[in-house]
Chain A
């Protein structure tokens, strides 16, 4: 529900500004926009003209009895029709393509933005929320752009053209039409207001029902074990009925526009026929004039109906566009801020140095070692609540540091500070003696690899997934990395080996196999610093043994931060830090800590018993 609340807030922004910004996107295809508008306008005028030809046509036969004049007019009409058809085809084709290209640009901008947003954005927004902008909002926008731009233009031109032709034919009859149109507009406005009102309520109700469905379907297994089915059904039925009532009302007003306008235009038609007849009898106008006029009255109400039908679509699209722009306006992560950057310092891949500008303008090269220090670091996901307090620690190049503590103690959070997924509140973190705030994020992250508990692979072959760690790796290097991660064995047993295509998220492989590939991916990157977050906690014992071997090999010669529950990994660490509620409560190696008989000892031996 909270989500929806936020959304409706966004919707309340300034629609005109949004429309303006949207129109701004057409600048990429100016020629197409201009060509499309001209052609469509042209063809609409041709249609008005073609309908107008009815007047001389009918008159030439009904009044003047002049077949040749009739033929001449007919030729003009055919010409206009050709213009109409050709103009409309190419014009609307251009506008529709323009819409596609615009949506394409917007989608591109969105993905670029989303990929550049800081990790904290993804903590506060569900994937579903962001996905829905990519799907629903973009779809709405697409439809609106595709249909409405051309349609509205046609409607305006047709309306203006028709009215001018009518005035030319007979100002008096035009008066009748304008009066009827005024009445129609008033009724239309009323219908639009009512349908708008119920439409909004319907949106709310739909959102509410969707929220309910989402929550209950996710809890479906709980429903089963509690025999809650009947009650769930009843409350769903109630909401479905409520939605039905509101939808019916909203749609009644929405659909009503068609018959109301259609029949009112027939009232107008009748009025024109009647008054036209009297004018004709008085000799003011000809029968041909009436014919053309009647055709016009059929045509003129169409733009009004069409525009009013489009309004709902337009409003929905504007709301969607606002949500899209909301994303586009987010502050991205600065990847290239900072004055310290990474440079090659020799032939080997790991011969790197930091280029550090000094205060006096000179530049000092510091070789990249992987020395990490935290000095009195405070951090909180929100300003008012610190999750890490007063953290100080150091890891010398090649050392292994293990974090231990119960869930929620802040272990993962610490590792997320090292690669600057989050910015610290207070204190300092340095790499090789350089404050990480000064280092370009891109460079900082390029010397680190992370292996997470929750393995994420991407659609593509196994080789591609391993190469993800370093894109210029050769096939031999890929195999080598797989071997060192203990993954080669199972990969080579597969039919297509390294060319086996993985589905999104690597389904088809076991959890353990996926973890091995992710370790190979980290290995090929050959990082200076390695972070392993519960990399083995959700695999079975047998695979765990496999993974452990791979991981041990991977850790050699790298500064490593480990979050694990496995004793052997932790035991061989140079230092173990015990975290509790965001603070380091104990530190030392395994034997020191066991001797202390403190929290670490409790966690190990499990003496936190009652008695």
Chain B
């Protein structure tokens, strides 16, 4: 899997967000906000092919967290970013 490079992360007044462009011009904007760990993973792994193991490594390198917890967090993070279309195959 990899990050979709069309989904650009932008800083808005201190928050990191991705603007999800809707197909029509109704007055609605959907944005996805990246929290600190999501942003870290995005920074480290963007532009590369990666696996859940790589995400686990990013988390254990940066945070004092045991492998099992990091794996659980990594799986949840990947699932939610995939769900939002930030991660594609």
Q: Do A and B bind each other?
A: no
